Every structure is written in structure tokens, then in C-alpha cells.
Amino acid sequence: MSYLEYQQTIRFKVGCLQYSNPIINIIINMLKNWIVTTQAVKNGTDGVMIRERYLLSTTHTNHKTTEKIIPIAGDKNTSKTIAIIGEKFKLDQKLNNKKGGRPLSSYAVEYCLTLPKGHRPTSQQWRSIVADCCYALAKLTKLNKDELTQYKSQIRAVLHQQPQIGHKGAGDHVHLIIGKVVGNRVLKELQQKKATQLIKQAFNAAALKHVGLDHKEYKPHELNRGKRLETWKYQQQKVGEAQHTMKVIKKLQEQADKWFKAVAEHDSKQQKRQLNRLLKTFDELSSCSLTTEQKEQTDALKLKISSQRN
């Protein structure tokens, strides 16, 4: 086989790998969860009231494209209640804690429940979704009857309806703020990883139950003639992994090109050098997340190189 034929073979095999992006394939095949982000509302009363003003602001720079802001649960008095309960707990903490210690500085946790563009539940559907999510979190924290009553009084939710056309920005989403202080304890579980995992599951189930949206069947809209996918908060870790995989595959292609050329030219020194590099790159690629097609093509390339060595 001539060098040109070798080159065409390797570019066909590795070229297919290079332009098959794992993150795109993962997202197209199945979305793991609807998007939920979690953050503590810091800075005590000031932090709670700043978030309250933000949720309702029609002039904030982040809301330039927001079409409508709709209260889903509670009102500004709910935020005041969260702040008052937090301040009371902080005062009691100061009076009763003779050993000192860090005073409570976060009175609430905020979750953002986001759906992709193209889906617009009604306000009532969002209320049902929020209710299911809050119920799941209440079960997690094992509230007694009195605590549950106080917990319900500290639920604030606001819907932001976003433009449904175009690829910039998120889709419709609800900001859900829940007070962390009930009775004489702080619900630390609300900002732990297990709470985020739980509310994602609850959001998935509620969206399916009340709206008929199944995250497993969702496929992002293709934009710009299919070259780009709708960009709405993909997990940064997976994007980074995909970029790393593509970098390794590109390196593999360059090394394979040089090895096949060395074989065609009977350059044993260059063959040995590039083969050692190829083996290291194959080893590096084994720790990457590959699609089934990519794995099959990589295995075929290994077999091709092995046959040429023999």
C-alpha cells in the first residue's frame, strides 16, 4: 500500500473520531436531568432582601430579555419572614453560645429550576412543580409538624419567562428560595449535595407528571445549520472532558500520520519513535469518554497498526 493510501486510511479512521464530539452525542441521546443550580443566600437579612428585589426587578441587566416575571409562591413579606426568623436565631445563638463560634450568616438557600427553550409550562403547572420539589426537600430534612408549618411560611418562588427563540440565554426558570431556619435548628441539608440531587429528581418527576416533559426524551434544537447546539448551561465538567478527548484524538491522528509515512518510507528509526508515542496516546485515550463509534474506530486503528508491525 502506498503512503497516500495509508494517509487516506488513517485520516478516514481518525478523522471520524476527531469530529464526533462526545458531549454532543451524550446530550442528543439523553439529558440526565433538567437543570437545577443551588446556592446559599449569604449576608443575612441584606442578602435575602437583595435577592427579593432582584427576582422582581424588570430593569436589572440580567432581565433585559425577560418577557414576564410571575410570582409563584409567597411575596415580599415571605422574604421578610425569612430574614426575621434568621435574625432571631442569630440573636439567640449569640446569647446562648458562651463558647463563641461563627454566627449564622446565611438564612436561606436558593434553587434555580430551568427548562430549555421551547417549553413553557403555565403558572399553575410551575406551582405544582415547586410544591413537589419543596415536599421532597421537607421529607429529606425530617421536619416535625411545627417545623413543617414554619418551613412552608418561608417558601418564595418567582417565575422568569424568557424568549423561546434564539440560542442565547436560558429558557423559562423559577427562582426558589427556602428559609434554612426552622424552630431551633438550621436545615444544613438544604445546601448539601444530596439535596441538589434530590431536587433534580423531584424536578424531573414533577415536570413529567404535571407538564408531560421527559428529560430522557429531550433533544436540544440544532442551530446554524446543525453546527452548533442550543447553548443553555451544559455541565462545564463534561464540556472540559470532551475538549480534552478531542485534543488527544488530534494528537493521535498526527502521530499515526507520521508512523504510516515512516512505514511507507521504510524509516525504522522514525517508526520506533512514533510507535512509542502512539502507544502512550492510546493509553491516554483509554481514560477518555468515547462513543461506541469512536471506540470501534480506535480499536480498528490499533489492529491496523498491529498488523503492519507484524
The three cell numbers of residue 292 are 461506541
Q: Which residue has the cell 430534612?
A: 141
Contacts of 95 (CB under 8 A, 6+ apart): none
DSSP string computed for 79-130: HHHHHHHHHHHHHHHHHH-TT--PPP---EEEEEEE--TT----HHHHHHHH
Q: Three-state DSSP class for 202?
A: helix
Amino acid present at 214 = D
Per-residue HEC secondary structure of 36-51 comes to: EEEEEECCHHHHHHHH
For residues 208 and 163, give the distance between their C-alpha atoms in angstroms, rounded to a whole number. 22
Stretch (H or E) spanning 198: helix 193-211
- What pLDDT, on a 0 to 100 scale, did the predictor assign at position 26? 36
- What pLDDT, on a 0 to 100 scale, did the predictor assign at position 248? 85
Q: Which residue has the cell 490499533?
A: 302
Provide the 8-state DSSP code for 310.
-
Contact 10, 253 (CB under 8 A): yes
Per-residue pLDDT of the chain (310 residues; tens, 9 = 90+): 444 444 444 443 444 343 334 333 333 334 578 999 999 999 999 999 999 999 999 999 899 999 999 999 999 999 999 999 999 999 988 888 756 668 899 999 999 999 998 899 999 999 999 999 999 999 999 999 999 999 999 999 999 999 988 766 789 999 999 999 999 999 999 999 999 999 999 999 999 999 999 988 876 654 333 434 444 444 556 667 777 888 888 888 888 888 888 888 888 888 888 888 888 888 888 777 777 777 777 777 778 777 776 6
Contact 113, 159 (CB under 8 A): no
- What pLDDT, on a 0 to 100 scale, did the predictor assign at position 237? 61
For residues 21 and 299, give the distance between their C-alpha atoms in angstroms, rounded to a whole number. 18
Q: How far is CA 33 from the centre of its chain?
A: 8
The three cell numbers of residue 281 are 496516546
- What pLDDT, on a 0 to 100 scale, did the predictor assign at position 28? 33
Inter-CA distances, 164 with 129, 132, 168, 260, Å = 20, 25, 10, 50
Q: Three-state DSSP class for 160?
A: strand
Contact 165, 130 (CB under 8 A): no
- What pLDDT, on a 0 to 100 scale, did the predictor assign at position 176? 98
For residues 295 and 289, give the distance between their C-alpha atoms in angstroms, rounded to a whole number. 9
Provide the 8-state DSSP code for 220.
P
For residues 105 and 86, give the distance between their C-alpha atoms in angstroms, rounded to a whole number. 9
Inter-CA distances, 268 with 38, 133, 259, 262, 272, Å = 58, 65, 10, 7, 6
Which phi and psi (to 5°) does residue 262 adopt?
-65, -40
Q: Which residues pair with 173 in a beta bridge?
A: 114, 160
Tell me how many helices (H) and strands (E) the chain has: 10, 9
Stretch (H or E) spanning 241: helix 236-264
- What pLDDT, on a 0 to 100 scale, did the predictor assign at position 285? 80
Which phi and psi (to 5°) does residue 142 adopt?
55, 60
